[in-house]
Structure 1
């Protein structure tokens, strides 16, 4: 198979730092096209990587095999439907869409058209994280196991993402929550319930998860605590053993390349469909919504 021609939708800080260089550097992909709502910005990024900018998104779809999205969830959810309908494979950010209903529509479009999809859940593609998950027992952990996750960041207080309107509006739960819930789900078993949740200032989310085998986990998240670098830690204790993971496990470029390895293999027929696909993105969005619902229904203590 020739290299997968990918069109990049978006040209913000994450697109420039991760998507564009990652697609250009990977041996199985080509950054072929760029679109943003500002044509001059798209043209500048495209020129940097020898790609072509397109003022018309539908014309871009005609020129590529896959589309990578680096746009707010409400935009991604809408454009991903068009891309899937055009038969293009999808590289999607989290959250998959603005609402659970819109995310479900993306999954239905992917299933209907038979395209491949992958979520940019960078944490899961880090070699150290994969090694950590490989230490876990194969069966879901039982009620004699507890797990915890802590991701405390100051990313909305300064830096390249502090002006992101959707992150500011939706907070750490939508930004960091999918990564954390995904990893705990993979480590100790599928999440089946959100027994409790609290949301305090500064954008501090605390919630509990119940897993299919009876294990319980607790999560603390914030993107508005003045700390640099971020504090990231996952711990599993009890019948499943003692396992601790600190940090992201690898830089975003390494994780993105591993994600592309899976997608390219799937499209070329030499590997299975990506496990962290749009359906996975939908499930994580459902669980994030369940956390919000638990906060809304919480009684003062």
Structure 2
């Protein structure tokens, strides 16, 4: 499958580009970026071609991978889907539910395959945990803590303007929601509060009655950094296992899922429809923070 990469930031360097270049079933065609010099540098590192025009790269490939801010990604994804190109998008797919739904509609109309790269869900140990938890059932609550401290010296993600503006809700929130949704089911109500240091607290009521509690930040004090996820229910307590952080391998599995779906296999459970559901929940949390009211969904 011929791939074009959109984006030249740290995530493109750490995951997307090396994974595309290493994949046996991928022809890494080209790179487009908002900074032409960075696009040329990244393309040169991996034997690809730099592109100055978005639509020219879309025209030359079968699929796109995107490592850009959500609002920039949404526009490119929509253009690619309308051109019949398969989509490997980063999370969140957009900043608004309307923009996410538009991508879903285009992908459906033009019959393109899609995968959203919720990194941890492509790590085998975590995916196996999710599948076991789904099969077990009877869960009453989930508690997810995802607190990072990215604005420390030397952290490349601390330079990201959209992360500074949108914080942990939109950066690490998608990972938390993507973990609880398949286990606890659709979300019907969202309540959220945001405090100092980007400490964002989200309550989700699921259709089956379970409640998720999410604590999210990308600006937590360094001593508070943690990633914990625990389910509680009739069968006891189940904690998500710790895993080695291997983003290139995880992205390669995302590529596998996209190629499989594009070749007539089953759609990925982490496709743009799932991605749009996550965006809808996060947008409801943002609305709740702004208005002080519980937001009902569905």
Contact 2:147 2:224 in 1 (8 A): no
Aligned to 1:156: 151
RMSD: 1.8
1:251 to 2:246 alignment = yes
1:295 aligned onto 2:289: yes
Cα distance in 2 for partners of 1:74, 1:188 equals 29
Q: In structure 2, how many angstroms separate the alpha carbons of the residues matched to 1:141 and 1:211?
A: 13
Q: Is the 8 A contact 1:140 1:213 kept in 2?
A: no
Going from structure 1 to structure 2, the CA distance change for 1:248 and 1:184 (only over 3 Å counts) comes to: farther
Secondary structure of the residue that 1:276 maps to in structure 2? coil
Q: How far apart in 2 are the matches of 1:228 and 1:21?
A: 32
Q: Distance in 1 between matches of 2:55 and 2:217?
A: 38
SS across alignment from 2:41? helix
SS, match of residue 27 in structure 2: strand
Paired residue for 1:208? 203
1:172-251 aligned within 5 A:
172-194=168-190, 196-227=191-222, 230-248=225-243, 250-251=245-246
Q: Which residue of 1 aligns with 2:296?
A: none
CA contact (8 A) 1:136 1:240 kept: no
Q: Pick the aligned partner of 2:24 from 17, 22, 27.
A: 27
Residue aligned with 1:64, SS = coil
* In structure 2, C-alpha distance between the alignment counterparts of 1:211 and 1:139, rounded to whole Å: 17
Unaligned runs of 5+ in 1: none
1:76 to 2:69 alignment = no
Matches within 5 A, 1:240-279: 240-248=235-243, 250-269=245-264, 271-279=265-273
How far apart, in 2, do the equivalents of 1:137 and 1:275 lie?
13
Q: In structure 1, what is the Cα distance between the partners aligned to 2:142 and 2:148?
A: 20
Whether contact under 8 Å (2:134, 2:182) holds in the other structure is no
How far is the alpha carbon of 1:78 from its aligned partner? 1.0
Structure 1 stretches of 4+ moved >4 Å: none
Match status 1:43 vs 2:37:
no
Within 1, Cα distance between the matches of 2:250 and 2:223?
21
8 Å CA contact 1:5, 1:30 repeated in 2: yes
Which residue of structure 2 lines up, in the alignment, with residue 167 of structure 1? 163
Q: 1:52 is matched with which residue?
A: 49
User: TM-score scaled by structure 1?
Assistant: 0.91
Contact 1:149 1:234 in 2 (8 A): yes
Contact persistence 2:71–2:95 (CA under 8 A): yes
Give the counterpart of 1:281 among 272, 275, 284.
275
Q: Once the 2 structures are TM-superposed, how far is the Cα of residue 225 of structure 1 from its aligned partner? A: 1.5
Residues 29/229 of structure 1: CA separation in 2 closer, same or farther (3 Å cut): farther
Aligned length: 292
Maintained 8 Å contact 2:15/2:247: yes
Shift of 1:165: 0.5
Of 114, 128, 131, the match for 2:128: 131
- Give the secondary-structure state (helix, strand or coil) at the position aligned to 1:242: strand
2:106 is matched with which residue: 105, 109, 112? 109
Match of 1:62 among 36, 42, 59: 59
Q: In structure 2, what is the Cα distance between the partners aligned to 1:231 and 1:261?
A: 30
Q: Partner of 2:157: helix, strand, or coil?
A: coil
The 1:33/1:21 distance shift into structure 2, 3 A limit, reads: same
- Measure, in 2, the Cα distance between the counterparts of 1:22 and 1:262: 14
Cα displacement (A) at 1:273: 1.4
Unaligned runs of 5+ in 2: 294-298
